[in-house]
Amino acid sequence: MSALSSSSAQPRSWVFVVLGAVGLTVSVLACAALVMVLDFAWSEAPPSNASWELEVPPPVYGPLPSLTLRDERGQPLEPGQLQGQLTLVQFTLVPLLRQVQERLETDGVPLRVVSATSRDSTVLHPDWRPLRDSGRLLLLVDQRLQVRGVYDSSQAPSTSERVITDARCLRSCPPL
């Protein structure tokens, strides 16, 4: 009887050995696959100094209001001439805009700066009128003639950075 139980124990231990070897092989293959996936993911990761913030395009405030526009030489412009260009509309001469324009051009983001006047105060959003009346209103207009940024030029350093950030995004962010 003891010969029978020892002969039946041998096949069972052999099965456990095979199952153990198969389990070990599957584990090694799973680990190798995980290492390959992680290696691929790390090779595609942005540089360590890259920002992980999601770039959100500036909001759409509506179409460019009906304004009298003039180019940098004082020549009249029709709004249609701005189609396809990023444009910054100023209501009084703002010296810092030349620096903003130069920084953006260095980054490959052309920005046209134009002057505007409006005799009709109802063409502007009511919240923008005090800025316009004090000569501090700046409007960033996208390629489709939609107002995408409203700025107070009296807050010079932060306004400059916001205009630059928004213009870069409008150039590179997907359209809404």
Per DSSP, the three-state class of 174 is coil
Q: pLDDT tens, 43-55?
A: 665 555 555 566 6
The token duo for 127 is: 């919240």
Task: Give me the chain's average pLDDT, please.
Answer: 81
Taken in order 157, 109, 103, 133, the sign of the CA dihedral is: negative
Q: pLDDT tens, 62-114?
A: 898 888 898 888 889 898 899 988 999 988 877 778 888 888 888 888 888 89
Question: What is the rounded distance in angstroms from the CA atom of residue 46 to the CA atom of residue 53?
Answer: 12
Q: What is the pLDDT of residue 146?
A: 92
pTM above 0.85, yes or no: no
